[in-house]
Structure 1
Amino acid sequence: MLRTVKPKNARVKRAMKEREPHAHENPKTALFIKTQTTSAILTEAMSDLYSLKKPHGITFNKKNQLQPFEDSSSLEFWSNKNDASLLLVGSHQKKRPHNLIFTRTFNYQLFDMLEMGVENFKSMKSFNINNQVNVGMKPLFNFTGELFDTHPKYQQFKNVMLDFFRGETISSISLAGLSHVISCTVGEQANEEDTPPVQFRVYSIQLLKSGTRTPRVELVEMGPSMDLTPRRTQEPDSSLEKEAYRKPKPVNVPKKRKNVEVDEMGDKVGRIHMEKQDLSKLQTRKVRALKADD
């Protein structure tokens, strides 16, 4: 159940109103949290993902005693304190080595979690490329594989990735503003229980001379590069999910007028309702030839 907090004064009321759902959401902040068992590979992977997320990211340098799937109270506390709805937790265990746990909250309550195992990791430093990610740039995304549309875990992964790197909502973008592409590729399942890894790759977009107004585009891998294998997941609560997907009423929208519509051509069409007419009293043109004889 959602917790309801009554404002104590006008300042708290304004702060709560600022955090209410809006038609156009602000960029989501992500927290990067390390547990006491975070490995060196995860530390470097989270650092590279933080570079892709900046400036809407906060990294915790201190390691924390944390088990997200057993107790999420600490995550909800940090989410509320930092006004962040995205959290990335790194943990390393013998049974589940090199874990990245993508966590989302709604109204500072746990919404869902997705655990991904990291394999074949290559950091940005291992790629000899000068073009690094500019702060605040929105990435292009490419998802290849049928499982992103058919399998629940991969559907959740696609949804989380788009939510994690969404950034600011913009109406247009210049060609020079396209700096990198995030490509996620997954193969076919060998059987129903098989979960093939997602090949997570990041490419730098280089615009080269082509002799025309349109430049020649080349993709150069810039890192990070890793294979992400789905592991444990936690689905959102039904009531919380319903509330999270509810869209607020749009503001400054003109009130719909009754019996007035706009057709496909953009013309305004109206419907008029008139009282019942008595045609026997209708005034018509007087013609001598039709006049009755006395």
Structure 2
Amino acid sequence: MGVIQRVVKPRNSRSKRALEKREPKNIENTKQCLFFVGKKASEEMRRCLRDLYSLRKHHSLHLSRKHPDMAPCVDILPVERLGQKHDASLFCYVARTKKHQNNMVIGRMFNHHLLDLIEVDVSDFRSLAKFNNPKGAEGTKPCLTFAGPGWEDDAALRTLKSLLLDLFRGVEATAVRLQGFELALQFVAVDSKTVLMRGYSIHLKKSGLRTPRIELDLIGPCMTLHLQRSRLASDDLMKRACRQPKQVKANRVKNISKDVFGSRLGRIHMTSQDLGGLQTRKLKGLKKVEDRDGADGGSGGGGGGGGEEEQMELE
């Protein structure tokens, strides 16, 4: 028996605007992310959560109080209710258990239900505060790089890569300025269970050429992620989550293609043409001359005179 979903009716204009903001849209809003702590968490993991929150401060919510009933890998229903309450589709959760002292879970939801999540164990953590190098401006979009063949071969690493891209994506940018690259996050897949994370500040130096010389300074956060449990989305659920409405899809233009250089090529279908009546350029030297033999009465002298006149006309 299906569960009947309660219909919420707005009581005033303010609640009506809030409900309209949460309604499905052709172009969705920027994804909101929740950062919260479980029943127990070490001070190191709390600092790690604050550093990740500082990298994505806009469109994020850091819940300072503890949530003892939260255990995403065991029971996802409380997390789904919390995400629906704050209209958030991403979450980052840290806790401490007997088996995993530095436990972190990154996940995302679709239609207020779990889509996928990855549980990692954090080690060798170094906070942003441990580096004296100057940091970038607040709200800077980081440049993410992924090294290692495992990101394309392993299913869990592919999901982790997609989660990290969604976590640090922020507002979608239509244009990029070169001076806007101030922060770089590098993720290196050592093997199918170990990922190294490093944070660098980007400095553009003069090189004497049009392309500047790039220098990187380690600013953190730095950590090693050990993959633990995971809940991957099925192919059918992922297909539904990635579906785009017809209004967003670009209309396909028929008989137009692009080559390897990006030039647009068009194909025109035409009926067969009669080239006999084709209008061509008229030249004075090829002008048609009337025959004057009939006007001279067919006499020999007249014929000779007509030939001279025709020769002069061609000249």
Classify 1:252/1:40 alpha carbon distance in 2 versus 1 (closer, same or farther; 3 Å).
closer
Higher relative contact order (CA 8 A, sep 6+): 1
Identify which range, 72-81 or 244-253, moves more after superposition.
244-253
> Quick check: 2:104–2:119 contact (8 Å CA) kept in 1?
yes
CA spacing shift, 1:18–1:59, aligned 2, 3 Å: closer
- Which TM-score applies when normalising by structure 1? 0.79
Larger deviation, residues 242-251 vs 3-12: 3-12
Corresponding residue for residue 28 of structure 2: 25
TM-superposed CA distance for 1:49, in Å, is 0.4
> 1:99 and 1:21, CA in 2 relative to 1: closer, same or farther beyond 3 A?
farther
Q: Distance in 1 between matches of 2:214 and 2:156?
A: 33
Kindly indicate whether the alpha-carbon contact (under 8 Å) linking 2:156 and 2:232 is maintained by their aligned counterparts in 1. Answer: no
> Superposed, which structure 2 residues align to 1:146-225 within 5 Å?
146-188=149-191, 195-225=192-222
Q: Which runs of 5+ in 2 are unaligned?
A: 259-263, 272-315
Partner residue in 1 for 2:294:
none
Q: CA RMSD in A?
A: 2.9
Can you list the C-alpha shifts for 1:222-254, whole angstroms capped at 9, x where unaligned? 100000000000122555333212111135966
In structure 1, what residue type is equivalent to 2:98? K
Q: TM-score, normalised by structure 2?
A: 0.74
Question: Measured at CA, do residues 200 and 7 of structure 1 come closer, stay the same or move farther in structure 2, by a change above 3 Å?
Answer: same
SS class of match (1:77): helix
- The 2-side partners of 1:28 and 1:176 are apart by 25
Which residue is equivalent to 1:102? 106
The DSSP-based 3-state class of the residue aligned with 2:47 is helix
User: For the residues of structure 1 that align with 2:121 and 2:28, how far apart are their CA atoms?
Assistant: 30
1:262 matched to 2:265? The reply is no
Q: Secondary structure in 1 aligned to 2:163?
A: helix
> 2:7, 2:267 → 1: CA distance?
45
What residue in structure 1 maps to residue 46 of structure 2?
43
Displacement after TM superposition at 1:12 (Å): 5.2
Work out whether residues 206 and 217 of structure 1, in 8 Å CA contact, stay in contact via their aligned partners in 2.
Answer: yes
Contact 1:89 1:100 in 2 (8 A): yes
Offset of residue 5 of structure 1: 6.5
Match of 2:279 in 1: none
1:123 CA displacement: 0.2
Q: 1:91 aligns with which of 77, 95, 109?
A: 95
Shift in Å, 1:37: 1.0
In structure 2, relative to structure 1, the CA distance for the partners of 1:213 and 1:270 (3 Å cut) is same
* Preserved contact between residue 31 and residue 89 of structure 2 (Cα < 8 Å): yes
**In structure 2, do the counterparts of structure 1 residues 6 and 186 end up closer, same or farther at CA, with 3 Å as the change threshold?**
same
For residues 253 and 270 of structure 1, the distance between their equivalents in structure 2, rounded to whole angstroms, comes to 24
Question: Percent identical across equivalent pairs?
Answer: 30
Between the aligned partners of 2:111 and 2:63, the Cα distance in structure 1 is: 22
Query: 3-state DSSP class of the match of 2:211?
Result: coil
Offset at residue 214 of structure 1 (A): 3.4
> What is the alpha-carbon distance in structure 2 between the residues aligned to residue 156 and residue 2 of structure 1?
30
After TM superposition, the structure 1 stretch with the greater mean CA deviation from structure 2, 173-182 or 245-254, is 245-254
Of 133, 136, 151, which residue of structure 1 is paired with 2:136? Answer: 133
Compared CA separation, residues 239 and 202, structure 1 to 2 (3 A) = same
In 1, Cα distance between equivalents of 2:43 and 2:60: 20
Decide whether the 8 Å contact of 2:186 with 2:197 is kept in 1: yes
TM-aligned CA deviation for residue 91 of structure 1: 0.9
Larger radius of gyration: 2
Could you tell me which amino acid in structure 2 is paired with residue 78 of structure 1?
L
Residues in 2 aligned to 1:112 and 1:2: alpha-carbon distance in whole angstroms:
23
* Alignment: residue pair count: 262
1:164-222 residue CA offsets vs partner (Å, 9 max, x unmatched): 1111222221111111111011224xxxxxx4420001110011233444332101111
Structure 1's unaligned 5+ residue stretches are 189-194, 273-294
| Equivalent of 2:56 in 34, 53, 62 | 53
- The reply on whether 1:236 has 2:230 as its aligned counterpart is no
